[in-house]
Amino acid sequence: MSGKLFFGAILKFLLGVVLVGGLLFFPAGFFFARGLLLMGLLFVPMFVAGLVMMAKDPALLQKRLDAKETRGKQKTVVALSGVMFLLGFVLAGLGERFAWRNLPDWVVAAASVLFLLAYALYAEVLRENAYLSRTIGVQKGQKVVTTGLYGVVRHPMYFATVLLFWSIPLVLGSLYSFLVFLPYPLLLVRRIRDEEELLAKELSGYREYQEKVRYRLIPFVW
């Protein structure tokens, strides 16, 4: 493990905390109990997972930190996702300040459980696939992973993010924010189609895997 990787990971983590906190708490008027709940659910497991990867698989951590896309379609998806997060978090904060249709506590509790389950699913995908990266591309020596969750859908990591992102506004108790996050799977459809076009061309065995596992994102749906 290099010092550069360690300090880079810590810096990105702290920037994430500051960014999300700012987007939530400034619009809310600084006190936002459900915002604090989300921050704990989001960043405590993230910090623990980062420590584990730093100790056991620094190369995987480096891949997760690399977020610079080179493909045009992927840049569009990343930009639209950023707008979704910005608008969704700000709306949730404003909804707390002005009491815009805040959801009941039982919805927040159920969403919190779903969020943690989705986080666990995401961690399992990371364990199964050492080639996972935040950017689209084929790595040297990469092989097709077909076991575990990859035997159910071709992109289980994206399925986990759907659960995560849909549960975020519910943890915040914001109906309007949930409506902003609701179209997120449509962005994934665009991302997956472009990614699979690349993988089918450049990753040996991926076309056969596509024939074996029919569903891309959601079992029995697509």
pLDDT in tens, 138-162: 777 778 888 888 989 999 999 999 9
Domain count, the chain: 1
Token pair 């024939």 is at which residue?
Answer: 211
Residue 52 lies in a domain: yes
CATH of residue 176's domain is 1.20.120.1630
pLDDT in tens, 152-208: 999 999 999 999 999 999 999 999 999 999 999 999 898 898 888 888 888 888 899
Bridge partner residues of 174 (DSSP): 102
Nearest-angstrom CA–CA distance, 187 and 78: 9
Bridge partner residues of 126 (DSSP): none
* Contact assessment for residue 118 and residue 168, using Cβ atoms and an 8 Å cutoff: no
Residue 71 lies in a domain: yes
Q: Please, what is the average pLDDT of the chain? A: 86
Residue 108 lies in a domain: yes
- Given pLDDT bands bounded at 50, 70 and 90, which one contains residue 55? confident
Residue 220 lies in a domain: no
Question: Which domain covers residue 164, as residue numbers?
Answer: 3-212
Question: How far is the CA of 81 from the CAs of 13, 78, 94, 190, 215, in angstroms?
Answer: 19, 5, 20, 12, 23
Residue 129 lies in a domain: yes
Is the pLDDT at 107 greater than 80? The verdict is yes
Residue 217 lies in a domain: no
Residue 219 lies in a domain: no
Is the pLDDT at 33 greater than 90? The verdict is yes
Residue 94 lies in a domain: yes
